[in-house]
Amino acid sequence: MTEMTETADQHTDALAGAWLDLVATARRTAAEGLVVGTSGNVSVRVDDLVLVTPSGVPYDRLGPADTVAVRLDGTRVLGALTPTSELPMHLAVYRTTGARAVVHTHAVHATAVSTLVDELPLVHYMTAALGGPVRVAPYETYGTDALAERMLEALRDRTGCLLQNHGAVTYGASLDQAYDRTAQLEWMCRLWLTAAAVPGHTPSLLSRDEIRRVGEKLAGYGQAAPSADGGAPGRGGAQG
């Protein structure tokens, strides 16, 4: 009985900690200009539950009592607030990938690019950090299963995509990683728009082969390197 109580307490603590991290990430998207008002949404997976931002509530008003959790089938199991309208999109990612966190924003530059091309031009090697060329999912009405399906097609073998006339979605093994991918994607979109706007010039682009090569290099980025004597790994990592 004691072990069961301890396990339940640990699960409760894990949910509480994850919710605080989720709210902090959501507030960061607003503070750094990736969303306006209550647009965009964030989620994080804890075991078989998904914590997600509620619909229509400003992030600066969210507290511990506002925790919202659903099962992978969408059944709400915790909280009185309504989950984000984009819940189908978040759950689709968790059901089909190993994601532990998802970030969706209406970032200006990412949304602008989504209206212009079917794929973000290969303007920078950090494209490889998202698995390859970033696709644009064709437009579907927000909050629908159709949008979730289009998104999954664009995310095939990728960790991020653009949503036409809508925004961007990224996922990762943690909230920090998912957020970093969102920020990188928005930066690359801004970079391409800036370069493409220079009159009389066409931005130089990288090849898909180069993106693949960079992807191989990034696979070991930040990992410990062997020590000089061939013994235990040191604490150094790859440098960008």
CA angle (217, 109, 137) in 5-degree steps: 75
Q: Is 186 a catalytic residue?
A: no
What amino acid occupies position 50?
Answer: V
Number of alpha carbons in the 13 Å side-chain half-sphere of residue 65: 1
Question: CA–CA separation, 168 vs 3, rounded Å?
Answer: 43
> What tokens does 85 get?
């309208």
Q: Tell me the DSSP string of 148-159.
A: HHHHHHHTTT-S
Question: CA–CA separation, 137 vs 21, rounded Å?
Answer: 28
Q: Which regions of 79-233 does DSSP assign to beta strands (E)?
A: 101-105, 136-137, 160-163, 167-172
Which of helix, strand or coil describes residue 75? coil
Question: CA–CA separation, 140 vs 61, rounded Å?
Answer: 30
User: Could you say which of 3, 6, 32, 86 is catalytic?
Assistant: 86
Residues annotated as catalytic are: 86
